[in-house]
Amino acid sequence: MNARFATAMLLTVGVVSTAQGQTPVTPHQDAATQSHWGERSAGGVKLDTATFISQATQGGLTEVAVSTAVAAKTQDPKVRQFAQQMVRDHGKANDELRRLATARGLQVPTSLDAEHQASVQTLSRLEGAELDAAYGTQMKEDHARTVALFEAATKLSDSDLAAFARKYLATLRQHQHLAGDLPGAVHTG
């Protein structure tokens, strides 16, 4: 499997949602107006609490699972360090979001849905430079969408969730910046 095919698979399987009622996101759509799984969360469509919790949790679980797999397999110290940071930071955010959701009586995913699990499995099959490049591409694109989701969430009527989004937005922007320096992350002007 070459890196280009693997990247295409990750984008198709790991980012594009075909969940009922959601508009699929393609890599060509503007990340600033799309959340991690395709529901418009900025640019005029209001994001609701349950949708934010579901999407942010699924995204966080995916970041932890993918990064755990990559940290165990990569030979690149820079990629390993980034992956370990993703596990720590997203794990912490996942725990906090779970507490906030539970306090609201909302259920949160505790495991990856089929699409995100397939993304983890696809990435886990790769080795060496192919793995690092596919991971770099996925991290850059996922964090662009996640930043857009959290920016929209800062406007939620639930002040605790809006504060949570504001709190983690700086960290997510830092991740997005760091991901741009990983192998496979295409730099755009």
Our CA dihedral for 74, 121, 62, 106, rounded to 10 degrees, sits at -160
Q: What whole-number distance in Å separates Cα of residue 80 and Cα of residue 95?
A: 22
- Going from N- to C-terminal start, the domains of the chain cover 43-179
Q: What's the predicted TM-score (pTM) here?
A: 0.73
Amino acid, res. 70: V
- Token duo for residue 177: 């910046």
- Token duo for residue 97: 């979001």
pLDDT at 11 over 80: no
pLDDT, tens digit (0-9, with 9 covering 90-100), for 51-81: 999 999 999 999 999 999 999 999 999 999 9
pLDDT band at 107 (very low <50, low <70, confident <90, very high): confident
User: Residue 111 burial by CB count (10 A; 0-12/13-18/19+): exposed, middle or buried?
Assistant: exposed
pLDDT at 4 over 90: no
How confident is the model over 141-158, as a mean pLDDT? 94
pLDDT, tens digit (0-9, with 9 covering 90-100), for 153-171: 999 999 999 999 999 999 9
pLDDT at 138 over 70: yes
pLDDT band at 109 (very low <50, low <70, confident <90, very high): confident
What pLDDT sits at residue 93? 95
CA 162, distance to chain mean position in Å, is 18
- What is the chain's mean pLDDT, rounded? 78
CATH number assigned to the domain with residue range 43-179, chosen from the 4 options 2.60.120.330, 1.10.10.10, 3.30.70.20, 1.20.1260.10: 1.20.1260.10
What pLDDT sits at residue 86? 95
Task: Specify the higher pLDDT residue, 159 or 119.
Answer: 159
The DSSP letter of residue 107 is -
Q: What whole-number distance in Å separates Cα of residue 19 and Cα of residue 35?
A: 13
SS3 content of the chain, % helix, strand, coil (to 5): 65, 0, 35
What pLDDT sits at residue 161? 95
